[in-house]
Amino acid sequence: MDEKTTTMLPVGRSPATRRSRTVLTVALFGTLCLYALYHLGIPSCRTRTESWLPKSQEELVVTGDKLVPLEAHIISKCPDTRDCLKELVLPAMQRVHDKVNFKLSFIGKPTDNDGVDCKHGPAECLGNIIELCAQQLYPDPKTYLGFTMCLTREYKEIPQRSLIEDCALEHAINFDALNECATKDDGGYGIGLLRKSVQRTAEAGVTKSCTVRLNNEIYCIRDDGKWKDCPSGPGVNDLVIAVEKLYRSH
């Protein structure tokens, strides 16, 4: 996929330049290092996001059980995730947001000691946790998907503090709330969110980022810079048509 990035970035008060800052406090840095050593298992992996409706979560609920399941399985520090969200998921959601029950899930490997291995190391695990916290705190896809896309456009910088702050500000997300979610219970809460998400992905039989599933079946995969296993086609119109067909049949 892309080059492996396992180096942890220094944490502290933010210097003047953007690229020297990371997302969490010194206290979390210690926690993250411990989890990297004992739980995460380090492996040997901004431009404005388009605005789209609905404006509130209530607008998503009106159709109840009729909504079609649509899910993207991703990892945070991955160009295939960036391309998948930018070229397919986000533009499709702009058109079918009111017809789907959308979810982001993450790819990783649960460990025996209640941790998670991430392809690009602990920095990616932390990026995954931040994006999961956004989804947990702001369940409206308009907010958390836009925030995730904002981060993913500059995936190499994840989890630098300035990137998180900028994207949080752009999408009206409380940065302190994100930080609290990620650090709660000495980091255990965030690790728990990630572990639950990667277990869901494993149960779905998904191993590649980015994998799009529609109606609980694999619809299309973006891997190594190419679209693969897309029998209905990788285009936005193809996905929109498939969603609308399923929606009418529900």
Residue 234 lies in a domain: yes
Q: Is residue 157 part of a domain?
A: yes
147, 167 Cβ separation under 8 angstroms: yes
Domain count, the chain: 1
Q: What is the pLDDT of residue 174?
A: 98
DSSP-derived letter for residue 73 is: E
Residue 92 lies in a domain: yes
Give a yes or no: residue 1 inside a domain.
Answer: no
Tell me, what CATH number does 114's domain have?
3.40.30.10
Buried b (16+ CB within 10 A) or exposed e, 225-249: eebeebeeebbbebbbebbeebbee
One-letter amino acid at 248 equals R
Residue 152 to residue 81: CA distance in whole angstroms: 7
Assess if residue 102 is contained within a domain.
yes
Cis peptide before 231 (omega within 30 of 0): no
Backbone CA torsion sign across 63, 215, 133, 185: positive
d(CA 122, CA 103): 23
pLDDT at residue 112 is higher than 70: yes
| Residue 19 identity | R
Full domain range(s) for residue 71: 18-41+65-249
50 occurs within a structural domain? no
Report the interhelical angle of 188-203 vs 175-183 (nearest 10°).
80
In this predicted structure, the answer to whether residue 98 has a pLDDT above a threshold of 80 is yes
Instruction: Quote the DSSP letter at residue 49.
Output: P
Residue 46 pLDDT class (50, 70, 90 cuts): very low
Q: What is the pLDDT of residue 78?
A: 97
Whether residue 241 is predicted with pLDDT greater than 90 in this model: the reply is yes
Does residue 99 lie in a domain region?
yes
What CA–CA distance (Å, rounded) separates 106 from 152?
13
What's the pLDDT tens digit per position in 26-45? 344 444 544 443 343 433 33
Backbone angles phi, psi at 101, to 5 degrees: -105, 100
118 vs 57: which has the higher pLDDT: 118
